[in-house]
Structure formats: structure tokens, C-alpha cells
Amino acid sequence: MVDIKLDKQLPVVQMNFIEVKASLIAGAEKYRGILVTEESLKDCKIMQKELSKTKTILDAYRKTIKKEMIVPITKFEEQCKSLIELVAEVEAPIKEAILVFDNEARETKRVMAQEHIDKLATDLLLNDKYSSRLIVSSEYLNVSMSVKKVKEDIEARAFILQQEQNQEIENIQIIKNTIETVNKGIDAKISFEDFETEIKLNPVINVIANINARAERIKANELKAIEDRKAKAEKEVLERIAKAEREATEKVRVEERNVRIAKEEAAEVERLRVKAIDDKEQQEERLRFEDRLKAGTIEIAKVKEIDRQELGSKMVEHAKEGLAKEKLYFIDMKIINATLTEVKTLSQFLKDNNYKYETTNKGLM
């Protein structure tokens, strides 16, 4: 291609800028500070139109000169674009062919790099976690990067991953040993799975510290539980002793009560025996008293001329005479296990024979 030769001249635009500016400043002074009032409104509108006209003239002049000066630049740009199109038309098929070749070369390098990665992952015993990180870098596919350099970079990365994997295995073993050690002193065992996620996020020293801290908490809780069980057992023993003492005291109290009741029952039996003797004597006295009352009643009934009041007085006097001969008694007795019929019969008998009595209590057995 022939070298491009340019005969260029920078556009030069000269104007009497200072003179025009001074003229505009001087002309503008007569408009500065003008107050718009109702009386001056018409003149102010004329002034505004004059200023707007001057502004329009200046802007139109600017656009016209710029349009004239840009014509050679626009023509130059169009010429360059046409030359570029000529070159691009010839370049396109060559570029496409080169791209096909480069893509084949890239694919060849990609396959080579992947094969080398697979071999190293096997030789270095990388597990899935670390071998998955050993991938074909986009830099390996650059034409400028040689096969030797690609292999060297893959090997360097593989060895770093192997070291990381070995360090992780070692850390895991350290953590497992730590867990095994702390589990010897506690009943509620710690499992490796409890810290498996934490291992991925924190340094091994922090994980070990957390394991020891958890073991201490578990141990403290277990010791407290032992103390609680011990205190509970001691409390139960004391309660059983107190219960036995209460039962012994209650037994003594019951025995004393039984002795007292036996004595009271014996006294009651003796009292009833004495009372039975007294009751028999009183019964005999009552029968004799009833016979005298009946005899007095018959004698009073024979005197028909005496009125009822006099008869009553005579009966009372007769009773007093009979009572004066013998002592009077009262009986406080309690009827036990009597039917209602028997109670009524006894009550009627007492009434029929003029015994005075009162009921102090009654009820069902």
C-alpha cells in the first residue's frame, strides 16, 4: 500500500472579537438596570426584541462559519472509511481461516491440558473436592502460551492442591483425635459430624478451641447432674428416716391410745355394771311407786261427788303422801338400738303412768 500523503492545514478563523465585544458591552449598558413598569412596558418590549435579534444574528453567524470549516474534515473521514472497507473485504476470509486454525489449536491444547490434569489428579491422589478445582484455564488456550508452560502451570497448581488436601486430612485427624480425647471424660459424646461444617469455615485451632469449650460445658452439666442426683438421693434417705421416725411415733401414740381406750372401756363396763344394779333397784322402786299411784287413783275415782279440780288436788296430795314416805329419784338414760315403734310405746307408757320426762337428743343410728 502506498503511503498516505496529506496536505493538511489547520483551519484558521480570525475575527475582530475584542472590538465586537467592546461594542456589545457599550451597547448593553443602556439596557442594564432598566425597570419594567406599566408606563415603560411598551419601550421595554422593543428593547427586548432588539437584544434577541442581536443574539440570533451572532448564533447564526457561528453556525455558518462552523459548517464551512468542517467540510474538508467530513470529506477526509469519508475517504478513510472507503479505504478501510477495501482492506476489510480482503481480510475477512483470511481472518476466518485463521480463526478455524486457532480454534483447532485451542481445542488440541484444551484436550492436552485436561489429560495432563486427569493424570496429575490420579498420580497425586487428589479427591473429588480438590481435583474439581484443577480445571483448564482460559489462558492455556492462548496461542502465545506454549504447551510446556501450560503443563508447568497445571503441575504447580496440582501440587498446591495436594498440599491443601494433605493439610485438611491432617487437620481432620487432629480434630478427630481431639474429640476422642475429650470424649473420655464425658458421658454425652461429641461426634465429628457436629464440627464438620465448622472445619470448612474456620482455622483448625479455632475448631479445637470450640470442641474443648463444648466438652467443658458438657462435663460441667454432667457433674451438676451427678450432684443433683446425689442431693436427691440424700433427700430421699432423710425423708425415709423422717417417715420411719413419724411412723414409730405414731405407733407409740396408737399403742398409748389403745391402752387408754382399753382402760376407758373397762371403766365403762364397770360403770354399766354398777348402773345396771342401780337401774334394777330403781325399776323395783318405780313399780312400787306405780302400784301406790294406781291404788290412789282407784280410791279417788270412788268419790264421785268431788269435782275434777278437787279430785286433782286429792290425787296430788295422795301422791305427795306416797312420795313423802319414799325418796324421789331422777333417771338420765340413753336408749340404744330401739325401733320407732318401741320408742313410741315407751313414750306412751310414760305418759299413761304420769312420768315426767324430756327428750335431749334423738336420731337414726
What are the extents of the domains in the chain?
1-165
Say which residue, 239 or 345, is predicted with more confidence: 239
Over residues 325-354, mean pLDDT: 69
Instruction: Give the integer Cα–Cα distance in Å for 299 and 292.
Output: 11
- Kindly report the pTM of this predicted structure: 0.40
- Region of poorest pLDDT, from 3-12, 35-44, 309-318: 309-318
Span 237-256, mean pLDDT?
90
Burial class (CB in 10 A: 0-12, 13-18, 19+), 314: middle
pLDDT band at 305 (very low <50, low <70, confident <90, very high): very low
Over 50: is that where the pLDDT of 40 sits? Answer: yes
Q: Is residue 96's pLDDT more than 80?
A: yes
Q: Is the pLDDT of residue 310 over 60?
A: no
| Cα-based angle 207, 210, 212 (whole degrees, multiple of 5) | 110
pLDDT category of residue 332 using cuts at 50, 70 and 90: low
Other Cβ atoms closer than 10 A to 72 = 12
Long-range contacts of 214-222 (CB under 8 A, 24+ apart): 214/190, 215/182, 215/183, 215/185, 215/186, 215/190, 218/186, 218/188, 218/190, 219/185, 219/186, 222/186, 222/187, 222/188
Q: How many CA atoms lie within 13 A of 12 on its CB side?
A: 3
Q: What is the mean pLDDT of the chain?
A: 80
pLDDT value at position 160? 93
The pLDDT of residue 2 is above 80: no
Which residue type sits at 132?
A: S
